[in-house]
Structure 1
Amino acid sequence: MPRGKYTNHKGRNRKFTSPEELEEQRKQEEIKQKWRKEHGGESSSEEESGDEKSGSGSSEDSDSEGDHPVKAKGVSGLIEVENPNRVVKKNKKLTTLNNLGGEGEKPQLSRREREEIERQRAAAAYQKAHAEGKTEQARADLARLAIIRQQREEAAKRREQEKKAKDEVPKKR
């Protein structure tokens, strides 16, 4: 029977785990849990408290509770996916944080960040020089200010002379 032009490849390469493999994995997990209980640790106390709460539950129920305390909804509980792009937040030791802070090592900056910092420094230096009158623009501004002050002083003198002249005119009459 011909399949035609379009073929569907879904389900052709499915691989099912055999019951023997599943049983072997379960036994390995039980061995690991026994070893943890014998050697003691933080996880063993949690498992024991979980066993006490479950009471007369089967061993498979206690295994699933120890591995996955919160049950995921839907298919996400069955599939374990490792996302390569996910950044896991790592806990830092206090000693390493103190060493980094004390030495004062600068973090590696990108080219744009370095250029931006350099631009800010240059602008601050220019402002400082401008305030001290050392730049060409500052000199030009100061010269302009001096001319304007001189003109204002002359205008003020003229106004005073005109006032005096007006005051003298009534006195003469």
Structure 2
Amino acid sequence: MPKGRYKGNKRHFTNFEAMEEQKKKEEKERQWRKEQGETDSEEEEEEEGKKKESGSSSSESESESGEEAKEQKSKGVSSLIECENPNRVVNKPKKVTTMNASTAKVQLSRREREEIEKQRATAHYRKLHAEGRTEEARQDLARLAIIRQQREEAAKKKDEEKKAKEAAAANKREQVARALNKKKT
């Protein structure tokens, strides 16, 4: 086979009993060092802290492990190695107080926050635009004023033309009426 290929199971698991023996051996060495006075004060503090933790947990773990061993007899190495799946979601019972607090403060995603912020900004701009405080609104109002003035001028011009037409029509009628009156007499 070429180099670098996986040639088989290279995993090595230590036996639980061997681990226990190693712990006992280390403990005996610590005791011996303590008796001889060769340990540093830092090491002693660490050892005492470990002993306190392991002492309280060892009595509990012994009683629990005895019960668990009776209940569970698993095959192979799985009984020796305790591992926890980091992807496993444990359903914990929720308290009412935490549920109310979580519903009160809803965490929004970045896109949702940006969308809400955008809507607020457009509403604010529209409000300012309606009040005439924006530059664009001022330009629109100036154009509107010019258009109104042009429309007023156009309306006046139309009225004048209309009056001129009416006056011309009335003048023509009068001339026709005079001409008709002269013929009759």
TM-score (norm 2): 0.43
Q: Which of 1 and 2 has higher RCO (CA within 8 Å, sep 6+)?
A: 2
Between Structure 1 and Structure 2, the one with more helix by share is: 2
TM-score (norm 1): 0.45
